[in-house]
Amino acid sequence: MEWIDAARAAERLGVKPATLYAYVSRGVLTRRHSDDGRRSLFSMEEIERLARRGRPRNQPPELVIESAIAALGVDRPYYRGIDALELAKTSAFESVAEWLWTAAPDALRASAPQLRNSGTPGADLPGTVSRGGSDVARADVGVLPWRCEPEALRAAVAAQRGLPGDLLPLDRLQVITTVLGASDSLRYQLDPASVAATGRRMIAGLVDALPRLSEPQGESIAERLWSRLCPRPATPALLSALQAALVLLADHELAASTLAARVAASAKADPYAVVLTGLGVLGGPLHGGASYGAERLLAEVAEPHQAARAIAERVRRGERIPGFGHSIYKNGDGRGGMLLDLVKEAAPGHERLAAGVALLEEMRRRRLPERNVDFALAILTAVSGMMSGAGEAIFAVARAAGWLAHAMEEYGRGTLLRLRASYTGPPIK
């Protein structure tokens, strides 16, 4: 079978490259990656068949937006051309966010994971993520930790005093975002450098304004977020898994929340309003809220033998199984596989891990969809002993970086995203 690159395929069909990738997401075309993983290749036979048949008309219309931020591969995303799974192994979340925002060559200065003070070359290179030392999730050496303005942070903390004590973190994050935005006089500066600076302040504020449950073990976003979600200190390996989760979840092309965020940005909404828009969509059970559903599913399985009943009851009720299946990754989500492997390495034999494995085996026995990143995130939070809803909070903090990257593209475009409806109502009189 002959394979051709995206430019040639798009030219043969007479469409833009973005439309070509839309056909892939809708199952119209098959795509594979070149040996170096940097190019998309398409079957010449499929392209010719589609060219003869004409553009697909029996599929629902799909909005196509050109973007240089993320591309979706067979089982994983690529951030500005770089494999997100590789970034999760080598780079701190802060570095990946800077890469998404700026595409600057020096934004990613990470090397392969090294132990701190191990004597190995590159062990203390800026941006290196240690997988065994006490600094597994630190930000780049020589770069100041991200910080929110003290007055804005105090206001965000004060705004939560009347909230219920058992409120889920995602609900708190919406309150925090609103207050941080109202307190930031620089929020209307929409040039790329200013938006990146706002992003650093905002993400730091989102984390630091959450109630503290334990003492932070360092200054990175991952270490500070752990202290807001878990009442006990992190082991280095579990903290490393949290760091990887933040990187893996930082962006995912035009997910529902990102589309909403881009629409807001196209109207020149400020970065806080963009993130608030994304947060509102993220909590839906078909998006970031799926991690909370997976968390509740896992909580029902006190012993591995209870997994079969938990799945059977949901199948009988005709419900989706949270944490399983993906609209893009039909044969498995590589992000979920990587994160699950990190948790297994960090806590072998843990009872919550055993329950998760039992759920995986039951789903495979029934030939139901494979696990996705939401399920792995639920396993991570359960094994770590994090509070209820922690997965949603991790998802939200991570994805804020992606929303802001997409907002920067829309600010640069300078045109309003105006979707049109296909009217199906009564005749117009």
Alpha helices of 163-286 — where are they, by DSSP H? 169-183, 192-208, 221-229, 236-248, 256-266, 271-282
Q: Which residue has the tokens 């196509």?
A: 64
Helices (H), 67-210: 84-90, 93-102, 150-158, 169-183, 192-208
Pairing of strands 82-83, 70-72: unpaired
| Identified catalytic residue from 208, 252, 374, 406 | 374
> How far apart are the C-alpha atoms of 110 and 256, rounded to whole Å?
31
Q: Are 177 and 206 in contact (CB under 8 A)?
A: yes
From the candidates 75, 326, 333, 406, which is the catalytic residue? Answer: 326
Find the angle CA(384)-CA(388)-CA(391) to the nearest 5 degrees.
65
C-alpha 349: how far from chain center: 27
Known catalytic residue at 252: no
Q: Within a 10 A sphere around the Cβ of 24, how many other Cβ atoms?
A: 19
Q: What are 83's strand-pairing partners?
A: 78
> Is the C-alpha dihedral spanning 333, 290, 235, 145 positive or negative?
positive
Query: Smallest Cα–Cα separation from 74: which of 29, 108, 44?
Result: 29
* Alpha-carbon torsion angle 400, 402, 403, 408, nearest 10: 130
305: annotated active-site residue: no
> Whole-angstrom Cα distance, residue 17 to residue 140?
36
Hey, is 301 helix, strand or coil? coil
Structure-block tokens of residue 324: 């399983």
Q: How far apart are CA 122 and CA 117, in angstroms?
A: 10
- Report, in this order, helix, strand and coil percent for the chain, each rounded to 5: 50, 5, 45
User: What type of residue sits at position 230?
Assistant: C
Alpha-carbon dihedral 243, 133, 223, 291, rounded to 10 degrees: 30
Helix (H) or strand (E) holding 72: strand 70-72
Report d(CA 213, CA 228) in Å as an integer: 5
Q: Which residues are catalytic?
A: 326, 374
